[in-house]
Amino acid sequence: MIQLILLFLGAEIIRRRWRSLCAAGIVWLLFGIALCVDALDGTMWVRPAYFGIAMILEGLVTFLAALGSNGTARRMRLAYGGVIVGVGLLMIDAPWHNDLAIALVAGLALVADGVWRFASAWVVRFPGWRLAIANAVFELLLAVVALEPWPTWYKGEVGTLAGILFIVSGVNLVRIALQLRTLPAGTPLGTVFNRGRARLMLEPIMPAVPEAGSETDDTTAAGLTVYVWTPTEGVRVPVYQSVTRYIAARDEDGVISTGHAALGLDGDLYISHYPAVEIDRDAGNFAQALRATTDNDVPGRFLPSYAEEAAGWCEASFRVTFKVFDAHRLRAFWQAYRQDSTYNLTNRNCSSAVANALEVSVEGVLDRHRNAVPSVGKMLLSPELWMAGLIRQRAMTMTWTPGLVLDYARALNATLSPPLQPWWVRLRDMFKAISRQYRRGHGHPGSGMATPVGP
């Protein structure tokens, strides 16, 4: 989530304030150390109930926001609110408070995420997969710490884990600040945040990216649309819903479909990356094809337009249209990306091209507005930003797929282009409408309905 905030602010504004970012990381780090010491020495000045109350309040506000929302924003807010309220209830001083239950929830969640990270890195072998395995092992060690009663018999569980998270976040902030200090002007933040080819393919666009606010800066071009074809499009026998949405679907002949993602700028450019020759995706060799190694590189091709793609296959399953973006950055990215048509199923595919193009096009959107700080404050309270960060983190530990791109695009769009009225205004109007309807239904004076008069 922090990386997305930095992405929206842009490399220029962050590079100018790298010392402030570094100082914030150090404060974050010291606070995490203090939390760990407080939890482990038994004093417990910062009690778990404090975290629980804060999480419950945030969850309740998120639920209220969901009532005033609709569509994707509503579903994301309900899911986010449900998770944090459930965890918060376990932390507060109430009859159902249970330190062992907190430890089990935290430990099992860390085990599940660590195993997923380890398996993804081992199977896909993306650039930096050894570091990803090391991170997975560290997460599994944290799970052991969470499940081990010593030394506080679970009393300091929340403080210890929260402190470790603060420490890790602080170290990452300091690392990013030091990297941004020497970042050349115009360099996209993707060269810092991304890995492997995703980083390398952004480097050539440095000279073409203008400074924020320059005359060539273009943020009012035609609409940017993300097109997604789900894996079940055209597949006769889908399998489990979560698998078919985010990974792949297999038909009755054993042929695997992974779906497709593309991005278009109306009347300007179209990014749709395909292998020149369709990759054999039967169940027998699909696992080998998932390796992000160079031996799985194949020649690729780019389709010229959405109209041609839809005519040759079918209409996209979903579309997400952005109003806030930088068309100049997007054109610069496409100019660099199209120089190499190499396709790799997990390391340079249609979805990674769209995800990286999308991030380049929204980088620095807040740097072009004078109210950047208030905008950041609103974003930090947005469940959609939290969801976008979670999706991005999952893709970085595995690979981008059309399903992940769809949810990521929706979350980014909801974060950058919220409704004209804030959720609390829409919620207030909704309650007013319900109140008016109630008064009319019960014939209250002043409601516009005549009250019965006796004989």
Residue 59 to residue 40: CA distance in whole angstroms: 28
In this prediction, residue 161 carries a pLDDT of 86
* Residue 292 reports pLDDT greater than 80: no
Return the structure tokens found at 56: 């419950």
Return the structure tokens found at 52: 């629980």
Residue 276 to residue 243: CA distance in whole angstroms: 26
Provide the β-strand partners of residue 226.
263, 320
* Residue 287 reports pLDDT greater than 60: yes
Question: Mean pLDDT across the chain, nearest whole number?
Answer: 78
Confidence bin at 454 (pLDDT 50/70/90)? very low
* Residue 441 reports pLDDT greater than 70: no
Which residues lie below 8 Å from residue 182, measured CB to CB, with a gap of 6+? none
* Residue 371 reports pLDDT greater than 80: no
In this prediction, residue 224 carries a pLDDT of 94
Q: How far apart, in Å, are the Cα atoms of 183 and each of 13, 189, 198, 335, 363?
A: 12, 9, 17, 22, 15
In this prediction, residue 455 carries a pLDDT of 40
Contact 8, 362 (CB under 8 A): yes
Confidence bin at 155 (pLDDT 50/70/90)? confident
Provide the β-strand partners of residue 261.
228
* Residue 207 reports pLDDT greater than 50: no
Identify which has the larger pLDDT, 321 or 278.
321
* Residue 125 reports pLDDT greater than 50: yes
Q: Please choose, from the candidates 120, 66, 63, 68, the residue with its C-alpha nearest in 3D space to the C-alpha of residue 86.
A: 63
Contact 365, 8 (CB under 8 A): yes
Query: Average pLDDT of 104-133?
Result: 87
Confidence bin at 179 (pLDDT 50/70/90)? confident
Q: Please choose, from the candidates 414, 287, 413, 398, the residue with its C-alpha nearest in 3D space to the C-alpha of residue 352.
A: 398
Confidence bin at 429 (pLDDT 50/70/90)? low
Per-residue H/E/C for the chain? CHHHHHHHHCHHHHHHCHHHHHHHHHHHHHHHHHHHHHHHCCCCCCCHHHHHHHHHHHHHHHHHHHHCCCHHHHHHHHHHHHHHHHHHHHHCCCCCCCHHHHHHHHHHHHHHHHHHHHHHHHHHCCCCHHHHHHHHHHHHHHHHHHHCCCCCCCCCHHHHHHHHHHHHHHHHHHHHHHHHHCCCCCCCCHHHHCCHHHHHCCHHHHHHCCCCCCCCCCCCCCCEEEEEECCCCCCCCCCCHHHHHHCCEECCCCEEECCEEEEEECCCEEECEEECCCCCCECCCHHHHCCCCHHHCECEEECCCHHHHHHHCCCCCEEEEECCCCHHHHHHHHHHHCCCCCEECCCECHHHHHHHHHHHHHCCCHHHCCCHHHHHHHHHCCHHHHHHHHHHHHHHHCCCCHHHHHHHHHHHHHHHCCCCCCHHHHHHHHHHHHHHHHHHHHCCCCCCCCCCCCC
In this prediction, residue 92 carries a pLDDT of 79
* Residue 403 reports pLDDT greater than 50: yes
Confidence bin at 235 (pLDDT 50/70/90)? very low
* Residue 262 reports pLDDT greater than 90: yes
Provide φ and ψ at 329, rounded to 5°.
-60, -40
Identity of the amino acid at 40? L
In this prediction, residue 97 carries a pLDDT of 62
Residue 419 CB: number of other CB atoms within 10 A? 13
In this prediction, residue 213 carries a pLDDT of 42
Window from 244-248, 304-308, 328-332 with minimum mean pLDDT: 244-248
Residue 223 CB: number of other CB atoms within 10 A? 12
